[in-house]
Structure formats: C-alpha cells, structure tokens
Amino acid sequence: MSLKDRIASLVEAQGPMSIADFMTLALHDPNLGYYAAHDPIGSLGDFITAPEVSQMFGELLGLWIVQAWRDQGSPSLCRLVELGPGRGTLTADALRAARLDPAFLSSIEVVLIESSPRLCAAQAETLKDCGKDIRWFERFDGSLVNRPLFVLANEFFDALPIRQYVMTDRGWCERMIGLDAEGNLAFALSPVAVQLVVPSERGSPEIGAVYETCPMGEAIVGQVAQTIAKQGGAALIVDYGYGANSGFGETLQAVSQHKYANILDTPGDVDLSTHVDFAALARAAARVGAKAHGPVEQGEFLRRLGIIRRAEALSHNDLHTVDAELRRLIDPDEMGRLFKAFTILPKTAPKPEGF
C-alpha cells in the first residue's frame, strides 16, 4: 500500500486529518516517508542547500559561532548542536573554520539532531575526519540543556509541521486533509470555528485569509532559548521566511527534482516545506527570557561577515566556480533575499556580528 492510500484509509476511518499530521506522515513515516526513502539534497535530489552550494557558507557560520563564544567569555564546557544537518556539510565546514581557535574546539561537544537513518549515515561519512566525536539524537531533548548551547539550523524550521486556519463567515476554521467524492485526498475546512489569538501586526483578516502556525517550531525555539537564557550560548537560524507585518497567506509547498509539485498527489515522494514565521520564533524566545535579532536577508548577512573577502581568497583556485557560488548565496534573485538569518542570544550578550 502506498503512503497516499494509507493516509486515505486513515482519513476514511478517523475523519479529516490536520495538515500537521499529514506533513509528519509524508516526511517522517519510518518506511514510506520522504526522508526515510529519499536522498533529497543536491543536483540529483529535490533541492540544494547553501552549505552544498559553497564551503564559504559553513565557514562563515562557524566563525560566527566562535565569535559568539568569545563574546560570552569563552566558556570551557559547551555544546555545539546542529538541527537537521543534511549531509553534515555545514558542521564539517564550520568545524574546519573553527580550527583558527583551538580553545573553542577543545571546549565543545558536537551533537547532531537527525531523525533520518539515511542522513545519519551520510553525516557520519562526511564528518569521519573532523577531529571531534559526534553524538546523534533524534530530537532536541532535556539532556542537552545543562551547559552553554551553540546551535546552527539551516533549512530546519521550514520542514516542521504546520497548522493552517482560514477565515470564514463562521470565524477561523482549520484547514484539514479529507477525501473528495472520488476518494482522493483533498483540502477541506473543519465545520466548527476555533478561537485563535492572531498577532495584531498581521492586520485585519478578510474572508479567505490563511493564517499558519508552527507549534513544534515554537516549542523547539522555546527550549533552545530557555537554555541560552540560563546557561549562555547562541542559536543561528537561516531559512526562508518572513518577519512581523507580513499579513496573511499560505506558504505550504511541495518540491520534486527542483520543481514545484502537487502537495497531495504523491505524499512521501515530494519534499514539503513552509516559510518560517520569524516573528513567532522571536516571541517564543522572548517568553523564556532570551533576545532575538533579525531576520536579516542572507545576502546582507554574509556580506557583513566578510564573504566577499573569503571569495577573493578562494578565487585564486577557481575564479569562475567561486564567483558562481558567491552569486548563488548573496544575489537577491538567488538565495540572497529569500533566505534570512535570525539569532537568539542571552539578553546580556553584545550585539552579534551581521545583525
């Protein structure tokens, strides 16, 4: 039985399914989910991430973490965590750049948060010569909150399950996954309205307006930010998304082989993602006593960190390739504007580089 048929059977037996539950099954089912059955990253996969575009990205993020560590007094026992590490390229590049400060490397324990066995194997291969022992966890949990925490997360929050609500004449109704007259998966609205507190900066919703929330993302940020507020550290998040005053709209999308696909046609065979609500993440951090900075456009952030100088240094080896990589990362029509950088720090920490 295909995953689509299994989801249809669940809906038929139990009633409409939330988009969050649908995304969880489509992406993380242990046998038929997208991450269990596919190698999604790269030219042969369905999308490419910034660390796979160029080593410059991971190097600069690694040096940013080192500077944040120094700004907070260079704690001697801390933890470097990457959420959703892909193939391990970002951590590998960050650790290589961090060799400029051996004291930092000796102070950190490296932890990767990854639920896909396929990707864990790829990460282990990428990092086998990194010089650090690596620990893997399926999720960020309470065992990781007992020391200063430095977190990297690139294109992690966009893949977390969301809920969608549509403004109707009855009020906000949740958008669900149901079945149409032919038994195919189809979007539907719950018949009963729900009470929602929508941030005032979004404005007044009209009929048909869509409001997205990501409870899991806010919960993860809350746990990370609480650790940072109490123990010290920093979280650097890079993803596509939006800040406050964004209005309303739906952002759930499916991608297959670098092209947009239908969300409901072949669950398990396409990547699902949404744009990150950075304002919601900032509120989650503030609630537990941490401070957020950003979002800042990726292109501007990397320029402030010195990517032009780094590209000039690397271009002696292959000018054409390095120039193409640089454009991909910072040009507004490439990744430079769509992707944003966002950070969480203790309230007492100095203003971070790049923000």
Task: State pTM to two decimals.
Answer: 0.94
**250: CATH:** 3.40.50.12710
CA–CA dist 341, 240 (Å, integer): 9
Residue 156 lies in a domain: yes
Residue 110 lies in a domain: yes
Where in the sequence is the domain holding 97, given as residue range(s)?
3-346
As for how many domains the chain has, the answer is 1
Q: Residue-wise pLDDT tens for the chain (355 aa)?
A: 899 999 999 999 999 999 999 999 999 888 898 887 776 565 545 568 999 999 999 999 999 999 999 999 999 999 999 999 999 999 999 999 999 999 999 999 999 999 888 889 999 999 999 999 999 999 999 999 999 999 999 999 999 999 999 999 999 999 999 999 999 999 999 999 999 999 999 999 999 999 999 999 999 999 999 999 999 999 999 999 998 888 899 999 998 877 888 999 999 999 999 999 999 999 999 999 999 999 999 999 999 999 999 999 998 777 778 999 999 999 999 999 999 999 999 999 999 999 9
User: In terms of DSSP H, where are the helices of the chain?
Assistant: 3-14, 19-28, 34-37, 50-53, 55-71, 89-97, 102-107, 117-126, 215-231, 278-287, 298-304, 307-314, 319-330
Collect all residues with Cβ–Cβ distance below 8 Å to 141 and sequence separation of at least 6: none
Residue 72 lies in a domain: yes
Phi, psi of 214 (to 5 degrees): -130, 80
What separation in angstroms does the CA of 293 have from each of 268, 329, 342?
35, 21, 6
The per-residue pLDDT for 117 is 86
Residue 50 lies in a domain: yes
Residue 167 lies in a domain: yes
Residue 58 lies in a domain: yes
Please name which of 241, 239, 238, 237 lies closest in space to residue 224, comparing C-alpha atoms.
Answer: 237
Phi, psi of 128 (to 5 degrees): -65, -25
Residue 305 · residue 282 · CB < 8 Å:
no
Q: Which amino acid is at 223?
A: Q
Residue 351 lies in a domain: no
Residue 212 · residue 164 · CB < 8 Å:
yes
The per-residue pLDDT for 206 is 95
Phi, psi of 204 (to 5 degrees): -95, 120
The per-residue pLDDT for 320 is 79
CA–CA dist 148, 170 (Å, integer): 47
Residue 352 lies in a domain: no
Q: What end-to-end distance do the CA atoms of the chain give, in Å? A: 49
The per-residue pLDDT for 107 is 97
Collect all residues with Cβ–Cβ distance below 8 Å to 250 and sequence separation of at least 6: 164, 210, 212
